[in-house]
């Protein structure tokens, strides 16, 4: 497989934060004036008020052409599937159209990304009442898919001693009521399975040693990785033997089986942010000379084996997602071209959606963080690997999120930190975008509080 996009030749400038932001502001302004004109016209002709959407679509097309020149230009725009098509024709924002992944119907395209809560207080990998409150509140708040945080496939695979896990059967029961609570609130629920590799055994609130390795005598452990090089100032990992690699593949599959038993409706494999799988992928981290290192085929072998193993234990109609860092933002490292190639392979191996993030692999790099800063990567993966994607990263405003879908840059958006401060972000978005409360997933108990 060959591809012509690499980190080096991909033009980030067209997507610079400032440009994107200005473009969005301009579009918003155009939309506002188009709406105004449409309202005035409808008023004159006595027609029912169609609040501004014709203007919106027109303006999106005009601007979309410009914005995507030479980059996302070949992304087919705006209408991700037939249900969206229908909804667009009745003017419903794409954010509030359902999405189908295999046998799973997700009620909208506003998803909660995995966010580690470091709250398995007993350090036994079991979720707690905090997790119930955290996830169920956001399901009640209208999110379509809740992707539960990095969940370790073995104790050494935890990022911190207080990470949750699915490495043991006695953890299944602890998840079941949370999973059921999320479903009862109308959302779909996925779990992100993770092995932290050389970024494991790190501190967090309540444990101490924030941003550094936890010493063995305080509950830390020897970390493992494809090669014995350390992440920044973290303790050096031990290089994994081939038998151990095979065992970890089996641990991912076993954890996926437990996820199914707990009632999860989808599985996401965490291949991003510099954890074990992305350590294997990255040429700056993986120095192996055996079949799990070297060229891209070797470096992606671990991920593909995990995908195959997980796919073989989950039901045929259950979606499988992979989260990937599209670049490590370091010269000579992991880049968009490799991400596209891996995404194509993932699709061939039964992955239904790529959750596109960036970074976390190599320390001390400069990341141009700002609104939408990772959206171009989701767009490129969607266009060049022909696989559904989600966009994530500083997507905080309803119109901004809707625009990403209208541009065809992604099939769904993920709202992370903004959802930590606003569990009902989707309800607020519905209000801002003019969706009638009757079309929003308000729980019966909350309908009297509708915007």
Ligand X SMILES: Cc1cc2nc3c(=O)[nH]c(=O)nc-3n(C[C@H](O)[C@H](O)[C@H](O)COP(=O)(O)O)c2cc1C
Cβ closest to ligand X, residue 249 vs residue 269: 269
382 near ligand X, judged by CB under 6 A? no
- Output DSSP code: residue 15: G
- Active-site residue, from 135, 275, 292, 373: 275
Which residues fall within 8 angstroms of residue 329, CB to CB, at 6 or more apart?
358, 359, 362, 365, 366, 367
Please identify which residue in 26, 41, 82, 417 interacts with ligand X, judged by CB under 6 A. 417
26 near ligand X, judged by CB under 6 A? no
271 near ligand X, judged by CB under 6 A? no
152 near ligand X, judged by CB under 6 A? no
What tokens appear for 40 in the block? 């005035």
Cβ closest to ligand X, residue 193 vs residue 340: 193
286 near ligand X, judged by CB under 6 A? no
Contact pattern from residue 311 through residue 330 relative to ligand X, giving x for each residue in contact according to CB under 6 A and a dash for the rest: ------------x-------
Stretch that binds ligand X, among 69-77, 239-247, 257-265, 386-394 (CB under 6 A): 386-394
What tokens appear for 291 in the block? 């079949």
3-class DSSP state for residue 238? strand
Sign of CA dihedral 154, 155, 158, 164: positive
Q: Which residues 56-115 are close enough to bind ligand X by CB under 6 A?
A: 113-115
CB of 125 to ligand X, least distance (A): 14
Contact pattern from residue 347 through residue 376 relative to ligand X, giving x for each residue in contact according to CB under 6 A and a dash for the rest: ----------x-------------------
Helix (H) or strand (E) holding 106: strand 104-106
How many chain residues interact with ligand X (CB under 6 A)? 20
Contact pattern from residue 236 through residue 255 relative to ligand X, giving x for each residue in contact according to CB under 6 A and a dash for the rest: --------------------
CB of 49 to ligand X, least distance (A): 34
- Output DSSP code: residue 373: T
Cβ closest to ligand X, residue 86 vs residue 417: 417
333 near ligand X, judged by CB under 6 A? no
Stretch that binds ligand X, among 14-22, 300-308, 415-423, 439-447 (CB under 6 A): 415-423
CA–CA gap between residue 441 and residue 439 (Å, rounded)? 7
CB of 232 to ligand X, least distance (A): 18
Which residues fall within 8 angstroms of residue 38, CB to CB, at 6 or more apart?
50, 51, 52, 54, 55
285 near ligand X, judged by CB under 6 A? no
Please identify which residue in 24, 31, 67, 116 interacts with ligand X, judged by CB under 6 A. 116
Q: End-to-end alpha-carbon separation of the chain, Å?
A: 51
416 near ligand X, judged by CB under 6 A? yes
CA–CA gap between residue 118 and residue 68 (Å, rounded)? 39
394 near ligand X, judged by CB under 6 A? yes
What tokens appear for 262 in the block? 């707990």
Rounded to a whole number of angstroms, the CA Rg of the chain reads 22
Q: Quick check: is 442 catalytic?
A: no
169-176: list long-range contacts, CB under 8 Å, 24+ apart: 169/258, 170/126, 171/124, 171/125, 171/126, 171/258, 172/258, 172/261, 172/262, 173/262, 174/126, 174/127, 175/127, 175/259, 175/262, 175/263, 175/264, 176/262, 176/263
Pairing of strands 110-112, 104-106: unpaired
192 near ligand X, judged by CB under 6 A? yes
Stretch that binds ligand X, among 212-220, 310-318, 340-348, 389-397 (CB under 6 A): 389-397
* Share of the chain residues as helix, strand and coil, in percent rounded to the nearest 5: 45, 15, 40
Stretch that binds ligand X, among 3-11, 21-29, 124-132, 412-420 (CB under 6 A): 412-420
**249, 276 in Cβ contact below 8 A?**
no
Binding stretches for ligand X (CB under 6 A): 113-116, 149-150, 192, 270, 272-273, 323, 357, 392-395, 415-418
- Catalytic positions: 275
């Amino acid at each position: 497989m060959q591809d012509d996009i690499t980190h080096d030749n991909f033009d980030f400038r067209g997507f610079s934060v400032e440009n994107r932001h200005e473009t969005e502001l301009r579009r918003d302004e155009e939309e506002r004036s188009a709406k105004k004109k449409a309202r005035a016209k409808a008023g004159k002709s006595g027609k029912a008020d169609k609040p501004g959407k014709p203007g919106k679509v027109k303006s999106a097309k005009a601007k979309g052409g410009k914005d995507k020149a030479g980059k996302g230009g070949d992304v087919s725009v705006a209408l991700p599937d037939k249900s969206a098509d229908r909804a667009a024709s009745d003017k419903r924002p794409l954010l509030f159209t359902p999405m189908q992944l295999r046998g799973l119907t997700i009620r909208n395209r506003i998803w909660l990304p995995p966010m580690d809560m470091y709250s398995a207080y007993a350090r036994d990998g079991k979720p707690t009442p905090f997790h119930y409150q955290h996830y169920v509140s956001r399901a009640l708040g209208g999110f379509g898919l809740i992707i539960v945080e990095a969940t370790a496939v073995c104790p050494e695979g935890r990022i911190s001693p207080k990470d949750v896990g699915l490495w043991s059967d006695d953890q299944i029961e602890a998840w079941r009521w949370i999973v059921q609570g999320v479903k009862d609130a109308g959302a779909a629920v996925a779990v992100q399975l993770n092995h932290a590799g050389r970024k494991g055994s790190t501190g967090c609130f309540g444990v101490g040693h924030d941003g550094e390795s936890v010493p063995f005598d305080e509950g830390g452990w020897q970390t493992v990785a494809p090669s014995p090089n350390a992440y920044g100032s973290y303790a050096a990992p031990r290089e994994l033997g081939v038998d151990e690699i095979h065992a970890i593949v089996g641990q991912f599959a076993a954890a996926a089986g437990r996820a199914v038993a707990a009632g999860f409706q989808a599985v996401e494999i965490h291949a991003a942010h510099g954890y074990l799988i992305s350590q294997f992928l990255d040429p700056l981290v993986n120095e192996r000379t055996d079949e799990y290192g070297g060229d891209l085929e070797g470096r992606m072998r671990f991920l593909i084996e995990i995908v195959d193993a997980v796919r073989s234990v989950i039901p045929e109609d259950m979606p499988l997602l992979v989260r990937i860092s599209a670049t490590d933002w370091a010269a000579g490292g992991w880049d968009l071209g490799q991400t596209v190639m891996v995404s194509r392979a993932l699709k061939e191996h039964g992955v239904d959606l790529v959750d596109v993030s960036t970074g976390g692999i190599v320390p001390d790099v400069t990341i141009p963080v700002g609104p939408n800063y990772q959206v171009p990567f989701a767009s490129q993966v969607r266009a060049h690997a022909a696989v559904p994607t989600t966009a994530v990263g500083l997507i905080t405003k309803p119109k901004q999120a809707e625009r990403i879908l209208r541009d065809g840059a992604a099939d769904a958006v993920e709202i992370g930190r903004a959802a930590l401060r606003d569990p009902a972000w989707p309800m607020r978005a519905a209000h801002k975008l003019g969706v009638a409360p009757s079309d929003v997933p308000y729980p019966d108990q909350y309908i009297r509080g509708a915007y």
